Amino acid sequence: MLETGDAVFLFIQERLDGTLRFVATTFQSPRNLQFLGYHFSIDPSSRYMSAGSAEGGFIIYELESLSHMSTQYESCGSLKPVKSTRVRLTQGVIHKMEFLYPRPEDDYHIILLLIIVRREVSKQAHVSRMVVYDWELGDELTAVFRSEKGTPLPKEHRMPLMIIPLKVNTAFLAVSEHSIGIVKNAFTGQTSFDTLETHSPQQTRLHHGAAEPLWTTWARPFRINIYLEKMDVIYLAREDGVIAHIEIDSRDLVPTVMTLGTISTNITTAFTTAYDVFSDVLITGGDSGPGGIWKLIPRKDPQQVSVIPNWSPVVDLVTTDTNPSWRSDSKRKDLSTKRKVSSNSRPKSDRIFCTSGRGPRSSLTELRWGIQARIGLEFDHDQHVRQSWMFPVEAQGERGFYVILSLPHSTDVLHFPADLSNANALSPEACPFDTSSRTISAFQTEQTVIIQVSETSTYLVAPTQSSRHNHGEVCGKPSLLAEHACCTDDIVVISSHGANASQLDVLLVDQMNLTHSTSIDAKGEITCIGLFKASAQTYIIAGSVTEGLPLLTIYSLAGLEISSNVTQPDLVTPGQEGNFHMEAYTSVLAIHDTAEKVILVLGTRSGHLVTILIPGEDIAHYSLSIEQIGISPTNVFSASSLFDGKHAFFACCDNSLSIMTDFSPKGSRFKTKTRIWATDSNEPSMSSPPVHAAFCLEGSLSGYQRHMSLMLLSGTRVLLVDIWPHVGPVPRSILLGGTPMRVIFSQIWKVLVVAHLKDDRPTLSFIDPESGVNVATAANKDKQPSDYISGLGHPGDRIFGLYEWTYVKDGKLFPFIIVTTQHGRLMIVSVTALKPESDDGPTRKLQYWTRYKKKGFAEPIYTVVGDDVGLLFCVGKVLHWEVLDLAEKKLKPMKQFRLDSPATTLRVEGTKVCVLTAQHSLQVIDLNVESENSDPSIIHSDRVTRFTGHVIEMGDSEEEPGKWPVSVISTAQAGLAGVWIPWSQRHKEFEVVVTGSLPTSIRRFRKGHTRPFWSAVDRQRRYNTLFSTADQADILGVSIDGSLHQFSLIGLDLWRFLRLIQNLAYQDKKICPFVRNSQSLRDSDPGMDLDPELEPQRFREMMHIDGDLLKRCLDMSALEELVLIGDGIDLFCEYLDGIDDGIYTEGFRETGSQGRKKYIELGYEILEYVLTLAI
């Protein structure tokens, strides 16, 4: 049921390729009842559906039979599932609504139970009544719902939490706050409830509430029909994880209740059972934290099988950006933002962490985006593994796998059985492969022959035989040592270093024989080689270095040079000054798109990715693109098949693995690059290991069609992982053991400082971002280990303020952590590094203790900030400015100022303070530091009162003082406001630049260079976009529900174009089906003359662009249809002409009918660029 009251019917259909899709049909609500669907129930025969309103009234839908709906869809390709409806208003509020089970022999009998609460004048109180309606299948509904007074419910069951229909005797269970009762026959009119004794355990440590934990949901397990005729079974779940098992005998309705145990998660309504041969399986979505899957094994506690991620409340967000200001980092001042090209060449992106959940299951969560690679098998090898291969093999009727591990100077070979249960290392004597030298390349032919090319030999290994061929003997070159190699079904090419230059030798495979075909004197020093086919001919592509420049040469197998080119980024894409000089090629692979068209991909030592498109028979003429995806060497690895129906390959760079998809012939590049994160379900806090090599298996080990299995190498570790084509969040959870409240990133210690609860007492943890380990211990004033530092550890207290402060004295810097609490405590905390106790423990150890402490405040200290010599903090509604005196070891009060409401965020701007108040928006206060007798005063304020959430500054450049920044304020009503502070005009109100609405309220803004390297390295002010900060960081915001939002600044010309698309989208039912637009009004009344208002107006309410809506337009490729609305196409082209003085549309209007197509293509390009994710 939708918010509008419409009912959506879905069924799952399998496509020809084996994938699944939802087929949906919508039935419009016959009556405008508010909150229709608040109550929702379907009868056991699936022929009737009931939807109730929270305000009194319900609708009964008579449905077609499943067989009739199947015939409908087969004949006309659509569904009309609703046969008829009946609207019934009630006198009172519907509290519960459920269909009951009829007797087994009366399967045509339909029974609807309602519990209605209303105020009755005769009793001068609210009364709960049970009303039962019943009818037979096919009855006319208008005659069914007569007025029923109903039967009053007993006091203990006036407001039941749940009604659980039983499959026997039209009975049901009523689960209330303090009692569980059973009504044995709803038709008797009885209201006496037989009470069930659950003997459930006391509340668990997962319980959050002040009262006793409540039963929240139930599920019926699978049982065979014969069993269900005698016994009904219910699993009842409590919010703190307790599971009860209830059995009801069908003859006497005698219930048996047994507590099964406790699962380690909070339980809400997302709870069900699944079928398993040997045991029941419980599945829960969790509540404010992760859920999971549990097996119920007889006479044992529930056993957790896996974890299901779920939403969690978020109160704080942090990135590892070292520059908290919108201005440029002082260390990077020389990189002027006059350059259009981004100077962002960071080797690593900033990481994003948020506080997540509450209670013992709460965590610090790293927010990551990409594809999850689930680790299935992992083992540690003795030596560093450079490359690996894994091939299926069948010997003596048993299936298994050979794993070839290339080591620095030798090769190890392992044999795995088909179930991967164990591995056997093959001895050199029993191994059919070369283990004495390093393996350079390996390949399995269609005839299942494995070709292993090592430095000295080529081995051909079949299921029943093998052969060894020494390179020196085959090529007639004694002591030949291969450096690079590649192979296909019948060709092996090796490169070696000759007397003057590199040489290529072509070897032919004939069954188990290997013969020499051709020797080629190559240009330069070869660094990688590959083979590809075009127009039925096989060619060699060689990357080499000559005179310090990378050279790309294509040879025929006969040794004829087809083409040879030196490639550099500036020769291909002029103006990309941000790119590094391209170095030698490291690896190459070929992707055969068609018999004629070939895509070649090469990695380089400088982190560049070179993509070549050979469109036809003319091999010498090809299109080429160069991109930089990192700064360390890039190695490319082939995918064994299409990924989600698209050509793909893998790339390792900067110790991370990515998959490249969506090849675009127009730009000769793969448009979509996605990071792959290795995860372990048994260790959710594990950071994704650094990956330097990958190998894609031919088939998925999991057995799923759309999945791929990869073998990843991480130093000495070898991992087998499974990936599938789902791009989305891949969170990493670091358990804290108590509800987190604040988190900051320490720029001094490079750790995450987390304020959280431990047994209802506030404490701090110093989390290493890489390992997820708490590396600090608390100490007392004598630096002896302690559970809590002085000032923390008080029951019921909470940490409200957390800030890293650098105090400056005589040119020396003294770093501290400032902590403020709900009970009015302020602590200045010192941190020092300790020597690790052992080599096996953490690589570093910190100790922290309270250096200074401020007492005597009776109200909460909500927030704190510091400058070089002092602190500003808000106690209740009073802003305090105090200075640290090292000699007296205390804070000396300087000035105070009473605010209209408590301050939640403080920021120091010279001698002024920007104060974000909870209920009175942003204010600028002058401390008047030049005079001790002058009180602080407000010099700038907002024009309206706003209930606020957080604030952040955004600005494109520092070159025009006073123009930037804009302060973006989030409001408690799911809105935002961008205000400009007139610093040069004292006592003037803010200028409101933009206001807008958001899906949810933003709890915290943060800035960070969080984009992947390939997205950030060439980021420009293209298409009239602007930088969000002077150091070209991105702005993120998190909501209390855990959703992450991205905010960007754009120029007016781009705003005008994007706003036009947004206005057009409002007129389209497919994109905005629930917006009452002029098109929907025109459809309802064709006589109405409604011209849509498309032209953007420069009102502050319209200056905010809904990026989610634009993303929907992009995903649906909707521009062609949208521009047909009104005069949309004329405005569309006009606004594109206005972007950057028309440099992108030059000549478009002169190309006639093709010009419109070019405008549409440019529109899509702009949407793709603007909507690129910042994570």
Q: In what order do the strands lie in the sheet with 966-971?
A: 948-954, 966-971, 975-980, 991-997
pLDDT digits (tens, 9 = 90+) for 791-850: 999 999 999 999 999 999 888 899 999 999 999 999 999 999 998 766 665 678 999 999
Question: Where are the CATH 2.130.10.10 domain residues in the chain?
Answer: 317-367+733-1046, 395-679
Q: Name the token pair of 472.
A: 């020196």
Q: Name the token pair of 537.
A: 């001919």
| Burial degree of 595 (CB within 10 A; 0-12, 13-18, 19+) | exposed
**3-state SS string over 267-335?**
CCCCEEEECCCCCEEEEECCCCCCEEEEEECCCCCCEEEEEECCCCCCCCEEECCCCCCCCCCHHHCCC
pLDDT digits (tens, 9 = 90+) for 132-147: 999 999 888 877 887 7
**C-alpha torsion angle, residues 87, 90, 96, 97 (rounded to 10):** -30
pLDDT of residue 535: 81
- pLDDT above 90 coverage of the chain, percent: 73
For residue 713, pLDDT over 80 is answered with yes
Q: Name the token pair of 707.
A: 């999945």
Q: Name the token pair of 520.
A: 């080629």
Q: How far apart are CA 190 and CA 177, in angstroms?
A: 21
Spatial contact of 539 and 569, defined as CB atoms under 8 Å apart: no
**C-alpha torsion angle, residues 66, 69, 73, 78 (rounded to 10):** -130
pLDDT of residue 931: 86
Length of the chain: 1175
Residues 6+ apart with CB under 8 A from 180: 173, 174, 195, 196, 198, 215, 236
For residue 113, pLDDT over 50 is answered with yes
Mean pLDDT, residues 967-977: 96
Bond prior to 201 in cis (omega within 30° of 0): no
For residue 466, pLDDT over 60 is answered with yes
For residue 336, pLDDT over 50 is answered with no
What is the β-pairing status of strands 656-664 and 761-767?
unpaired
- pLDDT above 70 coverage of the chain, percent: 95
pLDDT digits (tens, 9 = 90+) for 737-789: 899 999 999 999 999 999 999 999 999 999 999 999 999 999 999 999 999 99
Q: Which CATH architecture has domain 395-679?
A: 7 Propeller (2.130)
For residue 339, pLDDT over 80 is answered with no
Spatial contact of 767 and 708, defined as CB atoms under 8 Å apart: no
Spatial contact of 61 and 50, defined as CB atoms under 8 Å apart: yes
DSSP one-letter code for 1080: H
pLDDT of residue 860: 97
If pLDDT is split at 50, 70 and 90, which confidence band does 1053 have? very high
| Reported pTM | 0.92
Averaged pLDDT score across all residues of the chain: 91
For residue 578, pLDDT over 60 is answered with no
DSSP one-letter code for 815: E
Vertex 411 angle, CA 406 and 414, to 5°: 95
Q: How far apart are CA 766 and CA 755, in angstroms?
A: 9
For residue 933, pLDDT over 90 is answered with no
Mean pLDDT, residues 367-391: 96
If pLDDT is split at 50, 70 and 90, which confidence band does 122 have? confident
For residue 345, pLDDT over 60 is answered with no
9-19 in b/e form (b: 16+ CB < 10 A) is beeeeeeeeee
C-alpha distances (whole Å) from 1017 to each of 121, 483, 525, 611, 649 are: 73, 33, 30, 18, 21
For residue 165, pLDDT over 80 is answered with yes
Mean pLDDT, residues 439-458: 96
For residue 124, pLDDT over 80 is answered with no
Q: What is the CA radius of gyration of the chain?
A: 35
pLDDT of residue 571: 43
The amino acid at residue 283 is I
Q: In what order do the strands lie in the sheet with 513-521?
A: 482-487, 491-497, 502-510, 513-521
Mean pLDDT, residues 439-447: 96
Q: How far apart are CA 917 and CA 931, in angstroms?
A: 26
For residue 347, pLDDT over 70 is answered with no
Q: How far apart are CA 117 and CA 152, in angstroms?
A: 10
C-alpha distances (whole Å) from 104 to each of 224, 249, 1037 are: 15, 15, 55
For residue 949, pLDDT over 70 is answered with yes
pLDDT of residue 335: 39
pLDDT digits (tens, 9 = 90+) for 1107-1137: 999 999 999 999 999 999 999 999 999 999 9
Please provide the DSSP assignment of 1087-1129 as one string: T-------S----GGGS---HHHHHHHHHTT-HHHHTTSTTHH
Has domain 317-367+733-1046 been given CATH number 2.130.10.10?
yes
Q: Long-range contacts for 856-861 (Cβ within 8 Å, ≥24 apart)? A: 856/824, 857/824, 857/825, 857/826, 858/824, 859/824, 860/800, 860/821, 860/822, 860/823, 860/824, 860/902, 861/800, 861/801, 861/820, 861/821, 861/824, 861/825, 861/826
DSSP one-letter code for 640: S
If pLDDT is split at 50, 70 and 90, which confidence band does 1049 have? very high
What is the β-pairing status of strands 585-592 and 561-566?
unpaired
If pLDDT is split at 50, 70 and 90, which confidence band does 586 have? very high
What is the β-pairing status of strands 466-470 and 457-461?
antiparallel
**3-state SS string over 505-557?**
EEEEEECCEEEEEEEEECCCEEEEEEEEEECCEEEEEEEEEECCEEEEEEEEC
- Residue spans of beta strands (DSSP E) within 109-202: 109-120, 125-136, 151-152, 162-165, 172-175, 180-183, 194-196
pLDDT of residue 166: 93
**3-state SS string over 420-456?**
CCCCEECCCCCCCCCCCCCEEEEEECCCCCEEEEECC
C-alpha distances (whole Å) from 208 to each of 514, 734, 738, 955 are: 72, 20, 11, 42
If pLDDT is split at 50, 70 and 90, which confidence band does 376 have? very high
Q: In what order do the strands lie in the sheet with 363-366?
A: 317-319, 352-356, 363-366, 732-735
Spatial contact of 848 and 841, defined as CB atoms under 8 Å apart: no
Residues 6+ apart with CB under 8 A from 124: none
Number of H helices, E strands in the chain: 11, 78
